[in-house]
Structure 1
Amino acid sequence: MTDDTTRRAVLAGALAAGVGGLSLSSARDLLESFAPLSGTAWDAADRELSETVESPYGAATIRIDGDGVPHVGADDEAAAYFAVGYVQAFDRLFQLDLQRRVMRGELSAVVGSATLQSDEFHVAMDFASAAEATWDVASETSVGPLVEAYADGVDAAIEREQLPLEFELLGYEPEPWTPVDTMLMEKQISWTLTGNFGELRRALVADRLGDDTVGELYPDRMDHDVPILRDAGAGDGPPDRDGSRRTAVDPALTGWLSQFESPPGIGSNSWVVAGEYTSSGTPIVANDPHLSLSTPPVWYEQHVETAETAVRGVTFPGVPFVIIGANERGAWGFTNVGADVLDCYTYEIDADGERYRYRGEWREFETETCEIVVAGGENRTTTVRKSVHGPVIEREGQTIGVAWTGLTATRTTEAIHEYGRSDGLEDVLEATRQFDLPTQNLVYADADGRTLYYATGKLPIRTVDGDPVSGDRLFDGSAGEGEWDGFTPYGESSWEGFVPFEEKPHAIDPDYVATANQRVVDDPDHYVGVDYAPPYRGTRIYDVLDERARSGEPMDPDFHRDLQRDVRDERAVRLVPELLEAVAADPETSEDLADAVDALEAWDYRMDRASRGALVFARWMAHFRRAILEPTFEEADLDESYYPNDWVLATLPADSRFFADCSREETMVAALREATAEIDDEDWERYGDWNTTGAIAHPLGGEAPFLDYDEVPADGSSATVDNYRVADAVGSSWRMVVQPGEDASAILPGGNSGDYFSPHYDDQFRRWVDGEYRSMDRTLEGDVAVRFAEGSR
């Protein structure tokens, strides 16, 4: 669907069917809070940007290109970012408000009790106070006036423009946007990437299955030879993990917290290649961050040109500045490090629950009573408690304290702004010093031929009895274990107890570096973390880069675009030959497996939507995983969210305890038989029959499915460079290839507009599915859509 007439027809059909006709899912509790679907919904069908807008910050223009990307031009930066706020609000206002409500714990006020637990968690973590502390610092810097101008632009659009359809459906109006809300968006994406309670989950598994099983299923280090920095010299190495000191937390608390941590499998690809490998001699940056895919996309594309710079790329709605992108001199991108920047603490608490013991003294918890508003229900009163470490989370009589690097004043917004204004590698290095969170793998290249890799973000150094320790366990908060020197929750931190900037993993002017969330370096000087991705994507990227480098052929932009679309699954390369051998050796093999065997034997290991072999492998992998792990985990009352990654699964030895009742080979063959039966029952013929985009949804799509994008067959898997994970709708949320000053192309998985009636609501979706790209041109051409004229403040 790409035109207004079709969209109006769909909405008309939905309205004619009534509220019941919209509910195609079981989530009726959200639907009940929809405003009556009356003629007011049509108000949103005729939204158009005002042609002239008064701005208290001065003159600016917005041109909208054929892909819905706004090109903002102004002499003054504040005027430009007022315009950016205005156009972001017009295109993505519901997304801005929804994210803000989630982080503030105010979602139930508009959708009812269905989101009450989410609100309770976010209120308890008090992300809003951390955003306020961040704004207190940022407001005194050069970005302060720009963030204020952006917020004023958002508010001007709220006041002047017709609200999007979602506000009509839910029957409410958004509150004014503030600079603190923008800081809150920094916390939101940082939490999405680093908010991980893995130590609680591992402690629970150890309690149920034993330390030996944890060591087997969740190794400190996966046995592969493809770290990001392959040639880095060995350091002293991080402290060893002491599994014997784990303390399990009640499963009710662990399970509850797991609902709100980083989505599973969040990751990304990026690489930077020096100019010696390209035809023109200019280096290239490629980046495709893998985040939750949604309608509209998580990223918003914009181009901002001022007297200081011309920068184009993507940002998160609610953030003024381009986060991933390029200016006239350089290009930069990010992937997640997987660093451990969250710790949990247990306490000795008195009988009244009002005090906790800390370093030999009793201290009162810092408390605050908060009311959570619930639309159509009874408001919930909750008490927020904090310790010296940070928020204290309580559930089912269990209590833990949480320290997270985002719960203090951070300077990442300043760093991002400076990237856009940078004039070379030294500027980028200086800006990176201010990049406090999230922990990211930065890749950079510029027109001068410089290249850079740097691990960003603050990395805590923990100690127990004066000795450095790893952070993937529970600490005794009452004893003062594992504390972060220089960290002040909800205030301004000095960070003196964290890894110094110069000691973080990095490489200046490397030939080429590839990141795919694998471990950063084999022997880091300091503990970074243990939650790295399996090496499948990293292996494939480095294999392709190495082969091309040896060939002497240039790695020009087309080569990098092809690599981003690569769908060879390295899991299959390892496992399919073993599976076929097991089938051939099984005397019980019957004709029911013949077609599956033929498909696998003829297969090229590519997860292509038209492939039969890819379908057989994908469904076999699911049944193989379940056959190995489900009996043990189910007996321990642990669901599949506790399963280890596929690298661990693929490398389990034949004498593992998980093959005690059925050999590895027998398990493989049995899983293939189950997969074949499932494929027949579902009448699937090819991979794309199962691997579709149906999981990509609008927040209200369950109740109003016309808001979702079309469901179409897709390529890729969780282990391919062209990444798509149908089970949880995670994948390439932005693909970008930039040769600074020469060639730049990109694509979004949907459209740049969040307005259902806009032609740019989904105009990039099919192109994204098919692996197409479009230009990232940085020119201010075309007709002016909005002209901002000088107005009063």
Structure 2
Amino acid sequence: MGMLKGLVAGAAVLLGASAAHAEVTTAVRQEAAPVRGLSQPAEIIVDRWGVPHIYAANTRDAFFLQGWNAARDRLWQIDLWRKRGLGRLSASLGPAYVAQDRAARLFLYRGDMAAEWASYDPIGREAVEAFAAGVNAYVGEVRAGQRPLPVEFKLTKSQPEDWNPEDILRIRSHALVSNVTSEVARALTVCAGGPEADALRRKLEPARKLVMPKGLDPCSVPANVLNDYVLATDPVSFGPLIKSAETEAPKPLAQVIDERAAEGSNNWTIAASRSATGRPILANDPHRPVGAPALRYIAHLDAPGLSIIGAGEPALPGVSFGHNGTTAFGITINYVDQEDLYAYEVRGNAYRYKGGFEPMRTVSETIEVKGGAPQTVELRFTRHGPVIWQDATRAFAIRTVWNEPGLAGYFGSSRMWRAKDWNDFQTARDKWGAPPLNLVYADTKGDIGWAVAARTPVRPNWDGLTPVPGDGRYEWAGFRKDGELPVVKNPAAGFFATANAMNIPAEPEYPRAERKLGFEWADPSRSIRIHEVLNGLPKISLGDSMALQTDSVSPQARRGVALLQSLTSTDPDVAKALTYLKSWNGDEATDSVAASLYETWAVKHLGAAVSAVAAKEAARPLIGASSPDPLLTWLEGQSPDARTPVLQASLKAAIVELKGRLGPDMSTWTWGRLHHARFVPAAAGLADPQLAAQMSVGPQQVPGSSSTPRAATWNPSDFRQTSGASVRLVLDVGAWDNSMAINTPGQSGDPMSVHYRDLFPLWASGAYVPLRFSRGAVEGDAGVVMKLTPAP
């Protein structure tokens, strides 16, 4: 039944895309403009769905126009990205942002720029320099009054700034991994309740006994040790009541863990032997925070020696995932551990290291402040990295791979733009830095494969699960060499799929105990469902892949329901809820009552009920913050008599909440009434009600949750979706014009543009639009044709 549903859904997806195609007007608008800095005439064809197809006479002009066009569509977004990353918010927005600027500057790349440039593909420097020049060209047009100033600049009374090429590479705080948050949570949990409490908080895979390093008291780790780290990596807030981060109450660590754990992705690559097309298929849907404007941007660049199409972040040149007409590549996070928190004994401005005291490196920087005097801040660094917390006797610093050359987030993809075969893919994989990825691959020769791509520290005498003393006893011994990370070419199953779950091959195939790549992975639910569906299809079509990307069946929910099968209750509400849950197949559709019951129970109430009987009170706040998975594992290990009161109490608490939210009639408690997508940009808080409404998108009922292939993590306070598929791509390798895609809510960042929200209803309903590649197909779907010439 589930398989039939998937096939039918795949047909519906294709029909949805066709319907969307038919609804859009066929009129093509012609534009012409001179662009200062362009070297030769060029053309941008914006298709009916807002995707720019850039045709240039040379690669430099292609990347230049990508920057110019990114600013045309997303100037406010990319300008804010740069200011946040460089620690320049105060210069435009005022003194409330000084603390955030200081925190961001702690995490800038401060190494040798020659080594940084040399770390990427030879085309990389040209791409970055041309892209920045293109952004500046458009900013110049705005300053000259030739282009409109986006409304958000007016709301914040600010102006866009010019870019330096190095800005793009020096910013590292937008692509951080989050292992350090779990290290802190583990120390605090072990301090409060011992290792057994931490086992309820986070499952370790492969199974590993937790051993605290010698010389570290877990109770010495301050609860607020990550304040600067969180401040540097969180989005920018606006509003008349915004307070300085120096006085604002810190965000609870449980909330930080929940937000960071929500990000994941799906990808798979299908061999021609398993494909209904007779060609490989590659599918990718990275899961990140969703909002307006869209996090990702789809673009196509075509010039002699370069033809790439796919998606990435709008402030970066090229694409992070997509294809080049010969090879296709997709990404998901692989939880290789790339961070460590070091604890120090300090005396003044020096820290103990190998029997002596070593001075911290101090950097003084001046922060420009709009409407006020410049402020000088002091940044401190140990040999391991930026100091994020210090008092009279202790200090804590973070060591991360992204302090190394070649670790600008996602820019390792530059080596994929011109890859022609598996060997080129392997070279790109070996040079990749951050974030740590599962790279899947397919090419027109028929090869497919998977590889872990990450700059991976070697920890000789510990496993990276906890903070460690910074006195020299726990040092990285370099990084894993080329060929030391897992790779699979042309798998026997005819496909390879990843969804952030633990997928490091077991001994003796791979020495994972010795290499200790990582132990903290996503809930395996999405991965289980993806493999279940792909294994059950003798031939896999494009429609099947689209249906699977939007599949709302949760194996995690099926685990939870299995625990309830023997449960009975004399409480009429609990008994009625059990009738819904016991007969449920785990499909978290918008019309499902059982989905509302399960998600409210498992995500919001099960953690408190389990920790009340299994953990000391002080350890309870962090339990259940990342996933119900370890809670279900604990319950599965208990006798029916032991778990019955926990199940009954937690289910009753969920029912009480739902009754308060949705009324007394349980038959109306459908998941769609709770679970919804609504995107409200931060700057909307500064707008009048009419403009704020124009800037906002939704609400729209959406199926799924964090445990379904259609990932849709939600905020516990209002059930609003907070993360999910930022983009969905399904690529027909070799017949590229058959490929399909969807962004959300739209390609443009201008709330007045037709392309600001036009893709949102399609994304929410599981529909797609064509991703054209050949010139003829692109011209057939043209919406706007821009003829661009060099300005005198």
The reply to whether TM is greater than 0.5 is: yes
* Cross-structure match for 1:68: 50
Q: Which moved more, 1:717-726 or 1:262-271?
A: 262-271
* Cross-structure match for 1:88: 70
> Aligned pair 1:394/2:400, yes or no?
no
> C-alpha separation between the residues in 2 aligned to 1:138 and 1:498?
15
Deviation at residue 358 of structure 1 after TM alignment:
2.0
* Cross-structure match for 1:563: 548
Deviation at residue 310 of structure 1 after TM alignment:
2.0
Specify whether residues 171 and 450 from structure 1 end up closer, same or farther in structure 2 by C-alpha distance, changes over 3 A only: same
> C-alpha separation between the residues in 1 aligned to 2:101 and 2:335?
26
Deviation at residue 721 of structure 1 after TM alignment:
0.4
> C-alpha separation between the residues in 2 aligned to 1:114 and 1:642?
33
* Cross-structure match for 1:121: 103
Specify whether residues 377 and 54 from structure 1 end up closer, same or farther in structure 2 by C-alpha distance, changes over 3 A only: closer
Q: 1:740 is aligned with what amino acid?
A: V
Equivalent of residue 679 in structure 1, options 642, 645, 658: 658
TM-superposition CA deviations, 1:175-227 (whole Å, max 9, x none): 10121122145x24421x4563321221111111112322454342267xxxx
Q: Which moved more, 1:628-637 or 1:710-719?
A: 628-637
TM-score, normalization: structure 1? 0.83
Equivalent of residue 280 in structure 2, options 283, 295, 301: 283
* Cross-structure match for 1:776: 771
Q: 1:593 is aligned with what amino acid?
A: V
SS in 2 for 1:502: coil
Task: List gaps (5 residues or longer) in structure 1.
Answer: 1-47, 224-238, 486-496
Q: Which moved more, 1:764-773 or 1:408-417?
A: 408-417
Equivalent of residue 217 in structure 2, options 232, 243, 247: 247
Determine if contact 2:200/2:623 at 8 Å carries over to the other structure: no
Specify whether residues 710 and 678 from structure 1 end up closer, same or farther in structure 2 by C-alpha distance, changes over 3 A only: same
TM-superposition CA deviations, 1:414-454 (whole Å, max 9, x none): 64223121222222222222212211000010111001101
Deviation at residue 618 of structure 1 after TM alignment:
1.4
TM-superposition CA deviations, 1:289-338 (whole Å, max 9, x none): 11111111110110111111321111111111111111211211000001
Specify whether residues 474 and 722 from structure 1 end up closer, same or farther in structure 2 by C-alpha distance, changes over 3 A only: same
* Cross-structure match for 1:691: 675
> C-alpha separation between the residues in 2 aligned to 1:308 and 1:784?
25
* Cross-structure match for 1:755: 750
Equivalent of residue 148 in structure 2, options 144, 162, 169: 162
Q: 1:292 is aligned with what amino acid?
A: P
The residue correspondences of 1:402-417 to structure 2 (distance < 5 A) are: 402-410=398-406, 415-417=412-414
Deviation at residue 243 of structure 1 after TM alignment:
3.0
Equivalent of residue 725 in structure 1, options 689, 713, 718: 713
TM-score, normalization: structure 2? 0.83
TM-superposition CA deviations, 1:382-427 (whole Å, max 9, x none): 2101111121222555411211111121166764223121222222
Equivalent of residue 214 in structure 1, options 195, 198, 208: 198
Determine if contact 2:343/2:469 at 8 Å carries over to the other structure: yes
Deviation at residue 726 of structure 1 after TM alignment:
1.5
Determine if contact 1:654/1:663 at 8 Å carries over to the other structure: no
> C-alpha separation between the residues in 2 aligned to 1:94 and 1:648?
41
Determine if contact 1:343/1:402 at 8 Å carries over to the other structure: yes
Q: 1:747 is aligned with what amino acid?
A: I
Specify whether residues 590 and 506 from structure 1 end up closer, same or farther in structure 2 by C-alpha distance, changes over 3 A only: same
> Aligned pair 1:512/2:512, yes or no?
no
> Aligned pair 1:179/2:165, yes or no?
yes
The residue correspondences of 1:5-24 to structure 2 (distance < 5 A) are: none
Q: Which moved more, 1:295-304 or 1:379-388?
A: 379-388
The residue correspondences of 1:229-244 to structure 2 (distance < 5 A) are: 241-243=210-212
SS in 1 for 2:515: coil
The residue correspondences of 1:461-476 to structure 2 (distance < 5 A) are: 461-464=458-461, 469-476=462-469
Q: 2:191 is aligned with what amino acid?
A: D
Q: 2:758 is aligned with what amino acid?
A: D
* Cross-structure match for 2:250: none
Deviation at residue 681 of structure 1 after TM alignment:
1.6
> C-alpha separation between the residues in 2 aligned to 1:577 and 1:389?
47
Specify whether residues 177 and 503 from structure 1 end up closer, same or farther in structure 2 by C-alpha distance, changes over 3 A only: same
* Cross-structure match for 1:444: 441
> Aligned pair 1:527/2:516, yes or no?
yes
SS in 2 for 1:600: helix
> C-alpha separation between the residues in 1 aligned to 2:124 and 2:366?
33
* Cross-structure match for 2:189: 205
The residue correspondences of 1:644-723 to structure 2 (distance < 5 A) are: 645-653=627-635, 663-683=642-662, 685=668, 686-694=670-678, 696-704=679-687, 705-706=692-693, 707-723=695-711
Q: 1:474 is aligned with what amino acid?
A: P
* Cross-structure match for 2:331: 334
* Cross-structure match for 1:591: 572
Equivalent of residue 78 in structure 1, options 52, 60, 67: 60
Deviation at residue 637 of structure 1 after TM alignment:
7.0
> C-alpha separation between the residues in 1 aligned to 2:633 and 2:412?
41
Q: 1:483 is aligned with what amino acid?
A: E
> C-alpha separation between the residues in 1 aligned to 2:534 and 2:31?
45
> C-alpha separation between the residues in 1 aligned to 2:31 and 2:346?
57
Deviation at residue 111 of structure 1 after TM alignment:
3.6
Deviation at residue 750 of structure 1 after TM alignment:
0.6
Q: 1:166 is aligned with what amino acid?
A: E
Deviation at residue 708 of structure 1 after TM alignment:
1.8
Specify whether residues 188 and 325 from structure 1 end up closer, same or farther in structure 2 by C-alpha distance, changes over 3 A only: farther
Specify whether residues 107 and 275 from structure 1 end up closer, same or farther in structure 2 by C-alpha distance, changes over 3 A only: same
Determine if contact 1:201/1:254 at 8 Å carries over to the other structure: no
> C-alpha separation between the residues in 2 aligned to 1:517 and 1:165?
38
Specify whether residues 533 and 637 from structure 1 end up closer, same or farther in structure 2 by C-alpha distance, changes over 3 A only: closer
SS in 2 for 1:272: strand
Q: 1:329 is aligned with what amino acid?
A: T
TM-superposition CA deviations, 1:594-641 (whole Å, max 9, x none): 442332244331111111121121112222223223688793176348
* Cross-structure match for 1:236: none
Q: 1:214 is aligned with what amino acid?
A: D
* Cross-structure match for 2:527: 538
Deviation at residue 116 of structure 1 after TM alignment:
4.3
Task: List gaps (5 residues or longer) in structure 2.
Answer: 1-29, 142-146, 234-255, 716-720
> C-alpha separation between the residues in 1 aligned to 2:307 and 2:618?
57
Specify whether residues 306 and 404 from structure 1 end up closer, same or farther in structure 2 by C-alpha distance, changes over 3 A only: same
Determine if contact 2:192/2:616 at 8 Å carries over to the other structure: no
The residue correspondences of 1:366-377 to structure 2 (distance < 5 A) are: 366-375=361-370
* Cross-structure match for 1:25: none
> C-alpha separation between the residues in 2 aligned to 1:442 and 1:139?
17
Determine if contact 1:133/1:408 at 8 Å carries over to the other structure: no
Determine if contact 2:121/2:415 at 8 Å carries over to the other structure: no
Specify whether residues 646 and 783 from structure 1 end up closer, same or farther in structure 2 by C-alpha distance, changes over 3 A only: closer
Determine if contact 1:314/1:322 at 8 Å carries over to the other structure: yes
> C-alpha separation between the residues in 2 aligned to 1:244 and 1:753?
50
> C-alpha separation between the residues in 2 aligned to 1:275 and 1:702?
50
TM-superposition CA deviations, 1:508-529 (whole Å, max 9, x none): 1222111111112234251111
- Aligned sequence identity (%): 27
Deviation at residue 370 of structure 1 after TM alignment:
2.3
SS in 2 for 1:559: helix
Q: 1:635 is aligned with what amino acid?
A: E
Q: 1:247 is aligned with what amino acid?
A: D
Deviation at residue 341 of structure 1 after TM alignment:
0.4
> C-alpha separation between the residues in 1 aligned to 2:548 and 2:421?
27
> C-alpha separation between the residues in 1 aligned to 2:101 and 2:391?
17
Determine if contact 1:451/1:509 at 8 Å carries over to the other structure: yes
Specify whether residues 422 and 130 from structure 1 end up closer, same or farther in structure 2 by C-alpha distance, changes over 3 A only: same
Q: Which moved more, 1:53-62 or 1:437-446?
A: 53-62
